[in-house]
Amino acid sequence: MVHLSKFAQAKWVGVSLASLAACMPQGAFAQSYGSFGDNIADPGNIPNIIEAGNQANGTNDDPNFPPSPPGFGNRFSNGRTAAEILPELLDFNLADISNEAVGNAFSDKLPVSLAGGIFLGNGSSIPGPIGRGLTSLNDTDIASQVDNYLARVGSLGEGDVMLLYASGNDAALALNTAALTMAPPDQAAQLAISGAQANAANTAASAQRLLDAGAGTVLVSNLPNIGQTPAARAGGLSGVQLATLFSTTTNQGLVTSLSGLNTGDGTLLLADTFTLTNDIAANPAKYGFSDVTNPCSLVPTCVNADRSVQDQFLFWDVFFPTARGHEISAAFLADTINAPRTLPALTEVSRFATEEQARSLLRLEGDGLWVAGRAGYNRMRRTRDTYAVGYEADGPGAQIALGYTLLDSFTVGVALGYSDTDVDFDFVGGGFDKRSLHISGFATVETPFVDLSAAISYGSDDIENLARITNVAGQTSVAETEGDSMAVVFEASRSIAPTPIFTIRPTLRVGYSESDVDGFTESGATGLSQVVSDLTLDKTFAEVGARVQAEFAGIDAHLSGFYHVRLGGGSQQVDSALVTIPDFTRSAIARAGDRDYGRVEGGLSKTFGKVQIGVNAAATFADSEFSHIGGNANVTVSF
């Protein structure tokens, strides 16, 4: 067994607390989940590696490492890691879960000739120097974990989620070297900086390989503030400063390196674990901790106690968090993934509502000068996919129209509408309120050959009470914004009357709709609130169908069926950044749920002199992705 001297142990400030990150429940689209890292994410992989080394080399090293008990299942903690918890907190169907992380892993391979043992925490080290007993572990560096995983699974898909940790063991290497060589401060700082730069570059290279393989989501966790660990504190002020320097330099390098990657069709995310650990250290009670400086495993009243006591401690040993710390970390990572996925709903709901406003005015007519009013209720639902959370939206709306119909063949008019929609995110807690004022114009011309109708609607949209419940320390990220939307729809139809009371009207519609939402900045969730760029969603579409109309006992009844097909657009680029890392932009192309769908419209009406009253309903079905149903009561008075 190779151990550091007590002097070196006191000065050594490194290894990876690499991530207090991610927690929240969820469930359906991704197929594979992979996690890659070092001790912070190791689910107990070391014993199998040591046993394989014993068989290959004829050695007899104890595979119970890190020792369990007191640890849990040979993890560097008293419970499951954040990497293990995260898949349970996402609304993806992660059927193939692989946790590849191994304690002692570096960001890339180290030279076999490297001298010195690597201290891993819990007061122990892996047997033997690198080049002998550690050779097998040196083959489990994070870059090799990624390569071996990709060699095993082949290509990845849009729904696959990959979690990648920057290496804290790279810090251990740099800071151990500084301690063992008694490097003066300037040389020690340079060792930390050069090691951190390599750590960032190697991590970015691993992320690129995952993206190149087709991964839909790659989440990189930056380094926590290693200067907050008990090991760093044991090195005094210089140890804390050097460890913090390694973390900040790595994290700055990640922003630069990751920003330059080719993401293809995937989404690349960066979790700000550094901000999380600093906030925990500054506000322990906020996260439910009473001790954020002492390692539970070295405190007899903690290590031998149950979870209720151990959960009061942030650190399990001198480097790594307790199970409670991992749970907080898991929630943090989950919200980092989910936050951008809540944004597509902002434009989707507004665009569809304005499109409905315009569609409702087609073929609206009366007798001479007339006024029409309607009041109703609409409900829509969109299911989740890789780049958007699901949501339910519902609320009342009203519209009043003023028109003029000349000789039963030409109609022109204007309308004013208002809607109040409540949107609730599925699975992810939160939602928003949308209040819209619509101004519209419409016209209809009937000829012996074809009837033409058109409507245009503009909506001014206020988005209020935008909130996302993070499940991290009771924090909710909130914002307000506004936007506008427009839609124009043209209709051509021909009335065919087989009998005096029965009419068939084949119909073709074409249209365009667009929604724009102003950029905004969230607040209220440390390390999780985001800065959102302007959002735009547009779509060109066509609808083909027919309307059947009949009159029975003075009641007019109509029923229509249409197939709605997207001709262009239907997707939006969603750009956002963390408030705490504004220079790294997360980009995704999110597809609207209502791209292609079937639509049914129907209604009943009865005329009493100059007054017509009626009810109308419409329903939209887009496979399992999107649905809408709405109804209204209406009255038209002609003068």
Question: Which pLDDT score is estimated for 13?
Answer: 30
Alpha carbons 575 and 343: distance in angstroms, whole number = 9
Neighbours of 172 (CB within 10 A): 29
Residue 30 belongs to a domain:
yes
Alpha carbons 534 and 483: distance in angstroms, whole number = 9
Residue 563 belongs to a domain:
yes
From 288, 314, 340, the end of a domain falls on 340
Lowest-pLDDT choice from 121-130, 368-377, 483-492, 518-527: 121-130
Cα distances (angstroms) measured from residue 525 to each of 329, 353, 470, 584: 14, 31, 8, 18
Beta bridge partners of 234: none
Question: Which pLDDT score is estimated for 366?
Answer: 87
Alpha carbons 574 and 588: distance in angstroms, whole number = 5
Question: Which pLDDT score is estimated for 61?
Answer: 81
Closest CA to 176 of 107, 248, 244, 243: 243
Report pLDDT digits (tens) over 404-416. Answer: 999 878 999 999 9
Alpha carbons 130 and 205: distance in angstroms, whole number = 24
Highest mean pLDDT among 131-140, 164-173, 179-188: 164-173
Range of 96's domain?
6-340
Report pLDDT digits (tens) over 316-335. Answer: 999 999 999 999 999 999 99
Domain containing 196 — which CATH number? 3.40.50.1110
Report pLDDT digits (tens) over 327-358. Answer: 999 999 999 999 999 999 999 999 999 999 99
User: Does residue 305 sit in the same domain as residue 392?
Assistant: no
Neighbours of 113 (CB within 10 A): 8
Phi-psi region of 58 (alpha: psi -120 to 50; beta: other; left: phi over 0): left
Quick one: tokens of 634?
A: 């209406």
Residue 378 belongs to a domain:
yes
User: Does residue 314 sit in the same domain as residue 448?
Assistant: no
Report pLDDT digits (tens) over 21-62. Answer: 333 333 344 489 999 999 999 999 989 888 888 888 888 888
User: Does residue 366 sit in the same domain as residue 333?
Assistant: no
Report, as an integer, the average pLDDT of 406-434: 95
Closest CA to 487 of 516, 464, 451, 444: 516
- Number of helical (H) and strand (E) elements in the chain, helices listed first: 14, 26
Neighbours of 552 (CB within 10 A): 10
Report, as an integer, the average pLDDT of 615-623: 89
Report, as an integer, the average pLDDT of 2-13: 30
Residue 19 belongs to a domain:
yes
β-strands 520-521, 530-532 pairing: antiparallel
From 340, 365, 393, the end of a domain falls on 340
Question: Which pLDDT score is estimated for 110?
Answer: 72
Question: Which pLDDT score is estimated for 29?
Answer: 46
User: Does residue 336 sit in the same domain as residue 350?
Assistant: no
User: Does residue 280 sit in the same domain as residue 415?
Assistant: no
Report, as an integer, the average pLDDT of 174-193: 87
Residue 413 belongs to a domain:
yes
User: Does residue 132 sit in the same domain as residue 204?
Assistant: yes
User: Does residue 299 sit in the same domain as residue 418?
Assistant: no
User: Does residue 611 sit in the same domain as residue 626?
Assistant: yes
Look up residue 523 and give its DSSP letter. Answer: B
User: Does residue 170 sit in the same domain as residue 303?
Assistant: yes
Residue 1 belongs to a domain:
no
Domain containing 586 — which CATH number? 2.40.128.130
Closest CA to 630 of 365, 328, 386, 381: 381
> What is the pTM assigned to this prediction?
0.88
User: Does residue 283 sit in the same domain as residue 354?
Assistant: no
From 306, 323, 340, the end of a domain falls on 340
**SS3 assignment, position 101:** coil
Task: State how many domains the chain has.
Answer: 2
User: Does residue 467 sit in the same domain as residue 613?
Assistant: yes
Report pLDDT digits (tens) over 99-111. Answer: 999 988 999 987 5
Residue 503 belongs to a domain:
yes
Residue 600 belongs to a domain:
yes
User: Does residue 319 sit in the same domain as residue 358?
Assistant: no
